[in-house]
Amino acid sequence: MKALPVVSLIVVLSLVLAACSPAASTSEPTQAIPMTGSTATMQPAQAPTAEPTAAPTEAPQTIVDIAAADGRFTTLVAAVQAAGLAETLQGEGPFTVFAPTDDAFAALPEGTVEDLLEDPEGNLKNILLYHVVPGKVMAADVASLTSAETALGQELQVRVEGDQVFINDAQVILTDIEASNGVIHVIDSVLLPAEEGAMETEAAPSAMPADIVDTAVADGRFTTLVAAVQAAGLVETLKGEGPFTVFAPTDEAFAKLPAGTLDTLLQDPEGDLKNILLYHVVPGKVMAADVVELSSAETALGEEVTIEVRDGNVFINEAQVIITDIETSNGVIHVIDSVLLPPQ
C-alpha cells in the first residue's frame, strides 16, 4: 500500500512541530475564575487609578433666582420685577424674605393685585419691602423673636404657638430655603403694612377695628362662611356688641364637606345651617392663650365643643386651629381647617 509512507511522513512532521512549540509556563499560577451562581464571570484587569477630580459645583442662586425657578411664587416674582426690586434682591444682601405663595396672593380681594401692579412704585413696592428683613435670619432665630424690622422700616410681629410660627397673622409653612444672598421662609398670606394708604382695599389703621363680619368679608378666605351667615340671617347678630369668639372655617374647610352638603344647607337657612353656624360661636372674647387652658366651651347653640392640645396644635373637636387672635371690634376670630358639625 503506497499511501502508508505519506501518512507516516505526516505523523513524523506533527511530532517535530509539537516538540518545537514553546512549553506552557508554570512559573505563574493560573488565575481562578470566580463563579456567580452557575455563570462564570471574568474579573477585568485593574487599570491604574486616575487621580480624582473635583466635581464642578453650581454657584448658589440668589433669592430672585430661587423664587423664579420654584414655580409657587409667580405672582411674587412678577410683583418684584414690576416694582423694580429684582436687582436689589439679587444683590449681596443678605436678606430674609417672607415669601407669599401664589395662593396667598389669590386670597386677596378680587382686583387687588391688578390695582397694585398699576402703582408699582407706590403701594406695591411698600408691600414687598414689608416682606423683607435685612440680614439672614434662619428659622431657629425667627422663633426666638417677638418682632423684626423690615426694609420698609416697619416692624413685623413674630408669634410662636406650639410648633407653628406666625408673622403677623400669616403662618410660616416652609422654612430655611437658603440662597446665595440670604434665606426664604414661605408664608400663607400676604403681609400688609400698617402705613395709611399702603393698600386701598384695606381700611386705614384706627383705634376701632372692624367687626367680625366686616373682618371676615375683607379677609377673602371666608367667602362661603360669609354667604352662609348672610343666608341664615346672622349678620346683624355678629355685627352686634358681643363680644363673640368665632371659630371660622375657611373656604377650603367648607369645600371638604361631602358634595352637595352646602347646597342642601343653604336650602334650609333657618334650620340646620343656622344651627351649624351658631355652633362655631362662643359667647365672650376668648383669646388663644385662654383657649388652650380649656377642655370645652359652650357655644351659642347651647352645645359644647371640645378643646384639646395635641403636639402643640389646638383642636376644636377634630378641626385644627390654624390662625389665632384676629381681633375685631366685637370679639375675636380663630381660623379652623374644618367645619364643626353639632351633635344630632
What average pLDDT does this structure show over 246-275?
92
**DSSP element (H, E) containing 88:** helix 86-89
Please indicate, yes or no, whether the overall pTM of this predicted structure exceeds 0.85: no
Domain parsing of the chain, residue ranges: 63-187, 212-336
Q: 63-187 and 212-336: same fold?
A: yes
Q: Is it the case that residue 119 has pLDDT exceeding 90?
A: no
Q: Is it the case that residue 60 has pLDDT exceeding 70?
A: no
Q: Determine contact, residues 280/246, Cβ cutoff 8 Å.
A: yes
If one compares 190 and 195, the residue with the highest pLDDT of the two is: 190
**DSSP element (H, E) containing 76:** helix 74-82
Question: What is the fold of 63-187?
Answer: FAS1 domain (2.30.180)
Q: Is it the case that residue 254 has pLDDT exceeding 60?
A: yes
Q: Taking the domain 212-336, which CATH number applies?
A: 2.30.180.10
Q: Is it the case that residue 10 has pLDDT exceeding 60?
A: no
pLDDT at residue number 58:
56
Poorest-pLDDT segment among 33-47, 274-288, 305-319: 33-47
Distance CA 262, CA 269 (A): 10
Give Cα 300 distance to the centre of its chain.
34
pLDDT digits (tens, 9 = 90+) for 197-239: 333 334 333 344 689 999 898 888 899 999 999 999 999 999 9
If one compares 33 and 317, the residue with the highest pLDDT of the two is: 317
Angstrom distances, CA of residue 213 to CA of 107, 257, 322: 17, 23, 19
